[in-house]
Amino acid sequence: MTEAKKLFVKTYGCQMNVYDSERMAEALGAQGYEQVDTAEAADMILLNTCHIREKAAEKLYSDLGRLRPLREARPDLKIGVAGCVAQAEGEEIMRRMPIVDLVVGPQTYHRLPKMMEAVARGEKALDTDFPEEDKFAHLPKDRRAKRGPTAFLTVQEGCDKFCSFCVVPYTRGAEVSRPVERLLREARDLVERGVREITLLGQNVNAYHGPGPEGGEWGLARLVRALAGIEGLDRIRYTTSHPNDMEDDLIAAHGDCGKLMPYLHLPVQSGSDRILKAMNRKHTAEAYVRLIERIRAARPDLVLSGDFIVGFPGETEADFEATLALVREVGYGSAFTFKYSARPGTPAAERAPVDPAEADDRLQRLQALIAEQQRATQAGMVGRTVQVLFEKAGREPGQIAGKSEYLHAVHVDGPEALIGQVAAVEVVESRPNSLAGRLV
């Protein structure tokens, strides 16, 4: 019996990259590859990259530099680069790093098996097209036999918004939604393999308008309701959303669909209308706040998360104060905060930057406010009973850990037999990054 080849995948960035890495591993699994936990044990190394943040390419080249001695010691080792940096800089990666055998973009990784055939012949393989065919239709039909209690499911890709700071429209392409029937089939398959919670993914997931099984298009709310009908699927989440795509039926679903969890990630980026216009966000701060009010009217216990960029070109102290004011008015359970970093090729990259020291100061002040709100949200959970989907053993002997419906990490003393199940937990203590509880 031929020994299985070994595959090591390193994933950078967002949840969609995590999902893509899983699917690439499955595609190569059909070619006889088994995943391993270290690069040293691998016959093939695949780096699945992200291009959203500053110095993404530099990080990739640094990692490739660290792999060079391993490749020199083992000339038969194959190295591939996938994802958004691959899409943006494919030929440059090949030129600068001869140790790379394969470069594949995020829309063409279904072609990996054919590309690996070329690599096996000693050829270099590069594919960063935006093909018309649906890559998911060409991937292996069966997911891995056993799954943990939670899984990602990509339903939408690409972005048509063209925010002036963002490279996604250039690296992921235009907005495309997957057909409903395929998504329902994949979701049922995941549930059969042990999944109890599915997070629907998309660059603008609430822009989902997929072909329905009997013609016409389904929006995200209709898809959520159809998924909620799958027996054994206990929870549904979705991320990441754009305020301009929050349609009325999706807002209503937060109130009337019990399996849709009361947690929403809805980025706003800034509280200043002047900066929002410069970002090409196509909404105002006031419109965002009124939208949050409508969603909370449908689901009063909703916990909200967001994204914020400080130090955007042209941002003044008054603009930043408007962001702080919005944060205070909305109240966030958590948020991702970033100092603006210019992405080559985007309109904002041509503008004069804010003084780095000033941007650093604003980031620290914003993070302090967000941290205060996060602590308050978690403290407000003490004494409440939450529903926890247990995912793994805890750090201490006899502990198990999971996530509440509000996406808070929760640990309790309890049997590992509860892993993969939802159980009621009374929260007894709020800790810096988690909640402690006891089984009810």
Q: Which CATH architecture has domain 385-439?
A: Beta Barrel (2.40)
Cβ neighbors of 6 (< 8 A, separation 6 or more) are: 33, 34, 35, 36, 41, 42, 43, 44
DSSP alpha helix (H) spans, 35-121:
56-73, 84-96, 112-120
Angle at 378 between CA 373 and CA 379, to 5 degrees: 95
Measured CA to CA in angstroms, residue 299 lies from 66, 219, 261, 378, 414 at distances of: 49, 20, 10, 18, 31
Q: Which CATH architecture has domain 5-127?
A: 3-Layer(aba) Sandwich (3.40)
Alpha-carbon torsion 238, 240, 242, 243, what sign? Answer: positive
Dist. CA 234–CA 191, nearest whole Å: 10
Q: What is the pLDDT of residues 403-434, one digit of tens each?
A: 999 999 999 999 999 999 999 999 999 999 89
Dist. CA 264–CA 306, nearest whole Å: 8
| Known binding residues for [4Fe-4S] cluster | 14, 50, 84, 159, 163, 166
Query: 136-379, which class in CATH?
Result: alpha beta
Residue 139 has φ and ψ, to the nearest 5°, of -85, 165
pTM for the whole structure: 0.81
Dist. CA 249–CA 247, nearest whole Å: 6
Q: Which residue has the tokens 């389904």?
A: 218
Taking alpha carbons only, the member of 263, 169, 259 closest to residue 207 is: 169
Domain ranges of the chain: 5-127, 136-379, 385-439
| Known binding residues | 14, 50, 84, 159, 163, 166
Q: What is the pLDDT of residues 93-123, one digit of tens each?
A: 998 999 999 999 887 888 888 898 899 888 9
User: What's the average pLDDT block by block, 10 residues per block, for the chain (440 residues)?
Assistant: 81 82 85 90 92 73 92 92 85 91 86 88 85 61 69 92 90 89 95 96 95 94 98 97 97 98 98 98 98 98 97 98 98 96 89 95 98 97 98 93 98 96 98 95
